[in-house]
Amino acid sequence: MSTDLAESLSALDVDNVFVYVADAVRWDALPSAVANRGVTAKGVAASIHSPTSFAALVSGLSPPTNGVFSFTNRLDVPTLFDVPDHETRYDSSMLDAGGADDSLFSVFGLNPGESHGELDTVKAPFVLLERGNGGHAPYGDSDLTAWEYFRANPDLSAAQFREAYEQRVASDAERFAARMETLESRGLLENTLVVYTSDHGELLGEGGSLGHNGPMRAELVHVPVVFSHPDLPGDATSPDLVRHVDLLPTLLDILGVDEWPVELDGRSLVHEEPADHGLSFYDSSFFTDRVPGLSGRLRYEGAWDRDGGWVIPRSPRRDRTAILAGKLLKSAKRGYLQRHALPAFRAYLRGTTRYGIPGFDRDQALDWLAAANERSVTRTEVELSEDAGEQLRDLGYL
């Protein structure tokens, strides 16, 4: 059933917002148990990397405008956690390891001791963002770290990884269902808008790769966005495109926040025409720039609509080749990569690429990206705590 998202959202009268970001859930992996709870729209992730996507989601600003491309960058703009007259909290259940160690606290510029909170204790009116395991490795019911998981399973096929991945996503959907039960048991369900989404997708063999730190593809950018409330239809779909940057202005609108200190890149899905395209940015360092002729950075930019998009590699082929070579030698996923080296090299060496049938051409995509990059700001660098760094290693980022 298709529904008018703007009309549905504008009719809500709520004081609370709960946003559940299930890590690494691709568009085609949304569990029916989640979709049945509300209105689902196709989303465009701001990045294929968690810190960049989360920063766009909480700030309403695109990566060039907010300056976050890694876990060592920090937001210096108002965010979801600055909503006035609300208790605002961040929680993380990644790897079931206490949320206070999550490195996103540093990205958000939050003090874990003051800003960490859980749904069963937060006081209304509130805005709470939780980062769940979603489909992030390790897949299945493994209790290994992501690094250990891939090292322990070098011979699994893409189909086997997909099956384990879907099991992981389904398990996390049960955690999300438990959060809904908490809202109901606390008598808060009627007064809370719930949003389920993901920071990026996951590769399950496409382009010879696993995970999400590699060449940008549609499977990494298109993510589900589900709006849930007792007054919204269940198991409904919306034709609108929802970008990460649209969530903050939409939530501000629903909560009745009329003024915000900065102009946002996103649009309110309540009172503005939805965007017909979204932009995605990825810029990650895999080794130092001390190697002559190499930057060690893997950079991609993309423009997307519901039906596809264009990906433009911004790092030279020599860097992309060197990074893939390093992964083939040292990555925890090297067992799979070595068995699929040819498609992996093709993916890493590919130039500007069209995915699907987007409703715009390459030149239009380049124009949109150029306009976004004109607003680039200086990135604020911070040092991660030892505990945060350890969690990133467990998740396979370091």
Question: In the prediction, which pLDDT does 389 show?
Answer: 53
Q: What are phi and psi of 343, to 5 degrees?
A: -65, -30
Packing angle of the helix pair 50-59, 244-254 (nearest 10 deg): 30
Q: How confident is the model at residue 390 (pLDDT cuts 50, 70, 90)?
A: low
> What tens digit of pLDDT does each residue of 342-382 get?
999 999 999 999 999 999 999 999 999 999 999 988 777 76
Q: What are phi and psi of 339, to 5 degrees?
A: -80, -15
Domain count, the chain: 1
Residues of the domain holding 348: 5-394
Q: How far apart are CA 62 and CA 350, in angstroms?
A: 25
Q: Which residues contact 246 (CB under 8 A, 6 or more apart)?
A: 60, 266, 267, 268, 269, 274, 275
- Give every CB contact of residue 361 below 8 A, 6+ residues apart in sequence: none
Question: 152-160: long-range contacts at Cβ-Cβ below 8 A with a sequence spacing of 24 or more?
Answer: 153/335, 154/334, 154/335, 154/336, 155/335, 155/339, 156/336, 157/205, 158/204, 158/205
| DSSP 3-state of 382 | coil
pLDDT digits (tens, 9 = 90+) for 61-114: 999 999 999 999 999 999 999 999 999 999 998 865 555 678 899 999 998 887
Q: 198: closest CA among 250, 109, 248, 133? A: 133
- Can you spell out the DSSP letters for 115-153? HB--TTTPPSSEEEEEEE-TTPSSPTT--S-HHHHHHH-
Q: Measured between alpha carbons, how far apart are the two ends of the chain, in Å?
A: 43
> Can you give the pLDDT at residue 229?
98
| Closest C-alpha to 206, from 261, 159, 248 | 159
pLDDT at position 387: 58
What's the mean pLDDT in 271-300?
A: 89
Give the pLDDT score at 3. Answer: 81
Q: How many CA atoms lie within 13 A of 333 on its CB side?
A: 26
pTM greater than 0.85 (yes/no): yes
- Cis before 138 (ω within 30): yes
- Distance separating alpha carbons of residues 102 and 389, to the nearest angstrom: 9
CATH code, 185: 3.40.720.10
pLDDT tens string 304-319:
999 999 999 999 999 9
* Dist. CA 130–CA 119, nearest whole Å: 9
